[in-house]
Amino acid sequence: MQALLSPGSLVTVAGAALSVIGWIGYATGNPNLSLPTIFYGIPILLGGLALKSSELPPPMRVTPAARFRHLREQPESEPLRKLLADVMRWRYGQKAHLESSLEVLKLWDDDTPPQLVAVEEIEEQGHYGLKLNFETGAVPFERWQAQQERLGRFFGQGLACALDPREPGRFTLRLWVQPS
């Protein structure tokens, strides 16, 4: 269902609908209907198909949006709130979520980049936090561990970070607001 409501899908469907209406108008001899709909429909359809070809859907959201609202709305949770909003958007023309951040942290591989698979909101030590589930790609987990101290500071002031290995090729990055 999520893929059907992506911006690329909506533009593609709109362009296809306009094109079909235009061709029906052309077949029935109605130039007032066929000319504008074909003229606009085909470029919109091609633009939608171009969007669909470079589309990166948001990762799976494990927790319902309303569950941690009371913690998320606290002022000290702002960096994590911004991070959550950033990764839950549709991306176009990118290989992975957090691409520029991972490049700066030197946790990027052009051929097989790490992929953010799922996001889970958590409560860690009474404060708001996020669990980001990654597939490592070609970046070994040891490289992530070497950057662990920097990861918390990178995403926002006052954030703590922990890396939890899962099965081979997967790990969880936990970020939470440090108690003051």
Which CATH number does the domain housing residue 94 bear?
3.30.980
The owner of tokens 């890396």 is 163
Is pLDDT at 4 greater than 70 in this prediction? no
What would the pLDDT profile of 124-171 be if each residue is shown by its tens digit? 777 888 999 999 888 898 999 998 888 888 888 888 898 999 888 899
What would the pLDDT profile of 58-104 be if each residue is shown by its tens digit? 998 887 776 766 666 676 777 888 888 899 888 888 888 988 889 99
Residues 102 and 108: their CA atoms lie apart, in Å, by 5
Residues 104 and 166 in one domain: yes
What percentage of the chain reaches a pLDDT higher than 70? 92
pLDDT of 2: 60
**Contact by Cβ (8 Å): 115, 169:** no
Residues 90 and 123 in one domain: yes
Residues 69 and 139 in one domain: yes
Q: Which domain holds residue 36?
A: 3-53
Residues 71 and 151 in one domain: yes
Instruction: Give the residue from 53, 74, 90 where a domain finishes.
Output: 53
Distances (CA, A) of 69 to 77, 123, 127: 11, 11, 12
Residues 33 and 42: their CA atoms lie apart, in Å, by 14
Residues 45 and 104 in one domain: no
**Contact by Cβ (8 Å): 162, 149:** no
What b/e string do you get for 64-81 counting C-beta neighbours within 10 Å, with b at 16 or more? eeeebeebbeeebbbbbb
Instruction: Give the residue from 53, 72, 92 where a domain finishes.
Output: 53
